[in-house]
Structure 1
Amino acid sequence: MNDDTLLQLEQRLIEASLPFAVTTVIRALPPTSAWVGAQALVEADGALHGWIGGGCSRTIVIQAALEAIRSGQPKLLRISNTLATQEADVEDHAMPCASNGTIELFIQPTVPPPVVLVLGATPTALEACVLAQRMGLRVAAAASVTLPLAALGLQRVIEGFDSAAFALLKPQLVLVATQGDADEQALEAALRSPAAAVLLVASQRKADKLREAMRVRGIEPQRLAALHAPAGPYIHARTPEEIALGAVAGLVALRRSLEQEQAGGALLPGTAGTLPKVRPCESMAPVVPVAPVAPTPARYVNPVCGMAIDIASAKYVVDYGGQRLYFCCDGCKVEFEREPGKYLAIAQGAQQGETT
C-alpha cells in the first residue's frame, strides 16, 4: 500500500468516525526490512495496512496500536534484543526475529470524539449545541420542532423523542434541555438510550419530580443512576447562555471521565457491551460577591420549581391576586393553579428577598 492509498484510508476512517492508529518507524538498525519513515495504519479490529517491517514484529505493533487506541494516548515502542537504557516513556519488547535487528516506532492514535445528543430546541439547547461543537464533540439533536436546529450544522437532527432512533444513533452522552417541552417523554427516551450518562437542565426540585416520574414510567434504579441533575457544575447561571455553558462543562467533565474508564481497559466506542460507569460532575463552591449585585428586572423566579425565567420570552403566564406570575412549563403552571395560595406566598417571599 503506497502513501497516497494510506492517506485515503485514513481520511475515510475519519469521515466514518472510526478509531485507528498510525505507526511510523523512527529508527531502524540492520538487519531489518523496515526503514525510517515507513508507516502502517492499524484499524480498531486489528487490521494492519502498510509496512513497518517483517511478520516477526507485526503482532507486537498491532497489540501496541490497539492499546493506544483504547487509551487515546500516543506511545513510543522499541523492539530489540540489544541492551539499552530503559526510558520511562518507551515501551520495550524483545525482537522475536532471528535477525536480531532493532526498530523503534511512534504510534499516534486517532479516536473520534463521543456523540452527544441534545434534546430540545430551547435557547439553552441551541446554545449548548454550538458550545459542544466548539469543544470538539460530535453533536446531534432531537426536538418536537426541529426548524431552529437546522442552521447549526449538526451531525443529525431527529424530529420527536424516539427511543428507537436514539438507540440507532448510539450517543455516549445525552443533554436534556427541553425545559418544559415534553420533559418526561424526552427524559424517558434519553434514559432508554445506550448513553453512559444523561444530563438534565432543571432545578433540583424539578429534577426530583422528574426522577419520580421516571420510576413511575418503569425506568430501573440502576438506569436512573446514569442521570445527572442539575446538569454540570453550579456556576450561578441565570441566562440561557450561562445555563448552556454549565451544562456543556458537565459534558466535558463526563467525557474525560469516560475516556479514563476506557483507558483502564473498557471497550472501545462502538463495540458491543455496556459502557463504563462515569463519575458525577462535581459542583463548584458558591462564589461570594465582593459587592452587592442589583437584581436583573427582566428575570423572574418560577415559584413552583425555582427556575429563573426570562420574562420577555415566557410562554406560561398567570394573573392572580393582582400579581403576574411566570412559569417555565405547563406542568408548573398547572401545579400553581392547584395550590395558588401556597405558591403566591413563595413568589412574594422571593420578591421581598430581592428587594432587601
Structure 2
Amino acid sequence: MGVERVSYFSHDLEFINRIKELIEREESFAVVEIVKTEGPSALKAGNKLIIRSDGSFEGWIGGFCTKDEIIKSSLEAIEEGLIKFLYLKTCHGGSVYLYIEPILPKRKLVIIGNNPITYYIKRIGENIGFNVMEVSEPKEIEKIKMNKNTFVIIATMGERDHEFAEVILSSNVRYIGIVASKKRGDDILSYLRNKGYSDDLISKIKVPAGININAVSPEEIALSIIAEIIKVSREAKAKEVTEEEIDLVCGMTVLKSSPYYSTFNNRTYYFCSKYCKEKFDSNPQIYVK
C-alpha cells in the first residue's frame, strides 16, 4: 500500500519545494509531521512526509507496523478535508504522535452561459472561495484542468447545452448542473444515453440544477445551485472497503494483505511485522482466546 518516491527529504527547502510543486499541479495530498515519539520507534520528532491521494508517499514513513495506518489516516484526511491527530503504538512498545494536514486544491467552478443566473452564480461562488472560470465555447473546456474538485454549471438556456454536457461528461468532474426544464433535461439525458454513455457517467448530471427551494428570481436560482454544489462537495465519495484485522500481539490494525500471517486452529491471523509474527508463533495459545 503506497509507493515511496524518495527515501527522505535531505533538508526543509527540498520538502517545501515539493509541496509547492504539488500545489501548482493542483494535486490533493496530506502533509504528515511526527510531533513526538516515546520508546522504540523508527520515526523521530520533526520527521515530515507527504502522502498523495493515490496512497503513494514521499519521505521516510518508518516501520511496517505503522505505515498502513499512517497512509489510511492521511487518505481519510484528504477525503474529509479535515486535520487529524494520530497516536500509534509501534510493535516494539514505542509510541508515535502525528499531525496530518490535508492540502487540497481550490474548488473550481466552471460556468457556461451568460445571463442573470450565471451572473449571480459567479458572484456567490467567488465570495465563498471558488476559483470561478467562464466558458463560451466547447473547445475552451479542453484548456481547463478538470478534477474531482471541479463543478460545472451549464446555463445556455437550450443553446448547445447537450454539446457542452457531452464534452464534459468524460472528465473527472464531481458535478454537472444544467439549468433547464425537466423536459429539456430528459431530452439531454436521452441524447447522451443514445450516444452510448453509461448511466454511471450520466449520474454526475443534475438537471434541473439546484436544490428545490421554490426559487423564482435569478438570485434565488443561483443560490439553490450553489447550495447543491456545496452539499455535493462535502459528501465523501464511496470508499473501497479493505478488510482489516487486529494484530493480537501489539494491538495494531493491519490489512489482510500483510505479508506477515500465521495459521492456528484453522484460522489465519495477520501481523504488522516479522517480530509480532514470530512472537505469536512461539506461543499462540496466550494470544488466542
TM-score category, normalised to shorter length:
0.5 to 0.7
The share of aligned pairs that are identical, in percent, is: 26
Q: What is the deviation of 1:71?
A: 4.1
Structure 1 position 182 matched with structure 2 position 160: yes
The residue number in structure 2 matching 1:73 is 82
Distance 1:207 1:12 in 2: 41
CA contact (8 A) 1:163 1:193 kept: no
Q: For residue 21 of structure 1, what is the aligned residue in structure 2? A: 30
CA shift at 1:255, angstroms? 1.7
1:135 paired with 2:128, answer yes
1:261 aligns with 2:254: no
Q: Within 5 A, what are the aligned runs for 1:133-282?
A: 133-143=126-136, 160-162=137-139, 165=142, 169-170=146-147, 172-214=150-192, 219=197, 223-257=201-235, 260-262=236-238, 264-265=239-240
Match of 2:111 among 111, 118, 124: 118
CA distance in 1 between counterparts of 2:192 and 2:129 reads 31
Structure 1 Cα separation of the partners of residues 42 and 171 of structure 2: 49
Q: In the aligned structure 1, how far is the partner of 2:178 from the partner of 2:75? A: 34
For residue 79 of structure 1, what is the amino acid of its counterpart? Answer: L
User: Cα distance 1:236–1:52, how it changes in 2: closer, same or farther (>3 A)?
Assistant: same
Distance apart, 1:227 and its partner CA: 2.6
Q: Deviations over 1:255-303 (max 9, x none)?
A: 223xx124x338xxxxxxxxxxxxxxxxxxxxxxxxxxxxxxxxxxxxx
Count of aligned positions: 230
Alpha-carbon distance in structure 1 between the residues aligned to 2:28 and 2:139 = 28
**Structure 1: distance between partners of 2:79 and 2:61:** 21
Shift of 1:121: 2.6
- AA of the residue aligned to 1:173: F
| Partner-residue secondary structure (3-state), 2:211 | coil
Identify which of 101, 114, 120 aligns with 1:108. 101
Contact residue 147 and residue 174 of structure 2 kept, 8 A: no
Gaps of 5+ in 2: 1-8, 242-289
Give yes or no for contact 1:24–1:37 (8 Å, CA) kept in 2: yes
In structure 2, relative to structure 1, the CA distance for the partners of 1:213 and 1:242 (3 Å cut) is: same
1:296 aligned partner? none
Query: Of 4, 7, 11, which residue of structure 1 is paired with 2:20?
Result: 11
The 1-side partners of 2:36 and 2:164 are apart by 55
| Stretches of structure 1 lacking an aligned partner (at least 5 in a row) | 81-94, 144-159, 267-356
Paired AA for residue 161 in structure 1: P
CA distance in 2, matches of 1:62, 1:224: 32
Are 1:202 and 1:229, in contact at CA under 8 Å, matched by a contact in 2?
Answer: yes
Q: Does 1:47 align with 2:57?
A: yes
**Closer, same or farther: CA 175–76 of 1 in aligned 2, 3 Å:** same
Native 8 Å contact 2:146 2:172 kept in 1: no
Question: What is the TM-score of this pair, normalised by structure 1?
Answer: 0.53
Give the secondary structure class of the aligned counterpart of 1:14. helix
Give the 3 Å change call, closer, same or farther, for CA 226–78 of structure 1 in structure 2.
closer
Deviations 1:10-64 (A, max 9, x none): 2322222112212222332234465444433333352222x57667645543444
Distance in 1 between the 2:139 and 2:157 partners?
Answer: 18
Within 5 Å, give how 1:306-325 maps onto structure 2.
none
Give how far 1:176 is off. Answer: 0.9
Secondary structure of 1:261's partner? Answer: coil
After superposition, give the CA deviation of every residue in 1:179-231 in whole Å (9 maximum; x if it has no partner). Answer: 24333322333345444432111233433444445456565555444331211
